[in-house]
Amino acid sequence: MLDVLKARADRFAELTRQTEDPQVYGNPKLFAQVQRERGSLREQAEAYAALVSLQGQIDGSKEILKDPAADAEMKEMAQAELDDLQAKYDRQYAEAQDMILLGDEDDTRDVILEIRGAEGGDEATLFARDLMENYARYCAKKGLKLEVLDEVESEAGGLKSGTYRIKGQNAWKVFKYEGGGHRVQRVPVTETQGRIHTSLATVAVLPEMEEVEIEIKESDLEIKAARSGGPGGQNVNKTNSRCQMRHIPTGVMVDCQSTPSFNKNRDEALKILKTKLYQMEKERIDRERAALRGGMVGSGQRGDKIRTYNFPQDRCTDHRSKESFPLQKVLAGDLDPVIESCRRWEKEEKLAALAKQTARGT
């Protein structure tokens, strides 16, 4: 692990030098790429420096313990210091292990979040709206910015579909665990006999791509202007400002009505399309790598039921970590304990996969 950390610390130093190169900082797109990669390596570079420093101090304390000229009092102090340093080293090592196992090249990216009501009719759309509002509360607590790019309401006031951008430090790092099916068990407001219904909303989480990274031919795009739907002011339903974009080779569709301007909506739609195409390619590569590694864990997919929100029992259960949390706290935007449980689960899965891979190789 230390070899991996050293290589990443060396890369961080190289990228730091590149930020001072006129050919790099004079090119805004290249500079942004360098800064993003550098930002993704900063914590690991700092962890490596801390481990090297602690190891040096540990070696110094051990030398004192071996020194025949050192008196008993000096050795007692050196032993106490060694115990403290070793505990610090072990904690730092565990944190560095998390960085390597759980680190993702997209951790520092902003996020495109899509929420849809799925199984369960109006109740599914109402829960989709609840999820969106919950994420808004979580973003407010974490200092992240949530922007509405597109929303389609149901007749019941729920959310048929919504597309959002989440901007801020490590947005992907925390939101990547939200992708998948979110199941709710509760008595719907439309239920007259008090029966509990089970419904499903789906969440897709995509790391947002920069324009330079994905090239799309204009001839591969089918673009239509449409009238916006839902609340939004006097321009809504009067001008063809909504952009509907289809990528012909893949069939991927994007809708955007975030502004009254068609051209601005077109630009936003293109960004989302590039993000979706990047994610498709990333998932293909992940599947190939997983097959080679013997099934290392990847990110949750839209069709997987990752979490259940049980209102009668006031319990939110994540099916990956198999841990449960007080539902009302989770719905108040207290998602950190749930996300931390997912990180523990992912770490255990990857360690198990590595152990299996090592066993096959011996």
- 34-71 tens-digit pLDDT: 888 888 888 889 999 999 999 999 999 999 999 888 88
Which of 211, 188, 213 shows the shortest CA–CA distance to 199?
188
pLDDT of residue 290: 53
Mean pLDDT value of segment 79-86: 94
Average pLDDT of the chain is: 85
The C-alpha atoms of residue 28 and residue 33 are separated, in whole angstroms, by 9
User: What percent of the chain is predicted at pLDDT more than 90?
Assistant: 50
What three-state secondary structure class fits 26? coil
Say which DSSP state 263 is in.
Answer: H
- Examine the pLDDT at 237 and tell me if it is beyond 70: no
What three-state secondary structure class fits 147? strand
The C-alpha atoms of residue 35 and residue 111 are separated, in whole angstroms, by 18
The C-alpha atoms of residue 287 and residue 285 are separated, in whole angstroms, by 5
- Examine the pLDDT at 303 and tell me if it is beyond 70: no
CB 231 within 8 A of CB 244: no
- Examine the pLDDT at 256 and tell me if it is beyond 70: yes
Residue the block writes with tokens 């050919």: 23
pLDDT of residue 355: 76
Amino acid at 292: L
Mean pLDDT value of segment 337-350: 92
CB count, 10 Å around CB of 176?
Answer: 21
**pLDDT per position as a tens digit, 199-234:** 999 999 888 876 546 778 889 999 998 776 544 443
Return the half-sphere exposure (C-beta side, CA atoms, 13 A cut-off) of residue 25.
Answer: 8
pTM of the model: 0.67
The C-alpha atoms of residue 37 and residue 107 are separated, in whole angstroms, by 10
Distances (CA, A) of 12 to 3, 34, 89, 97: 14, 10, 22, 18
- Examine the pLDDT at 185 and tell me if it is beyond 50: yes
Q: What is the DSSP string of 57-87?
A: HHHHHHHHHH-TTS-HHHHHHHHHHHHHHHH
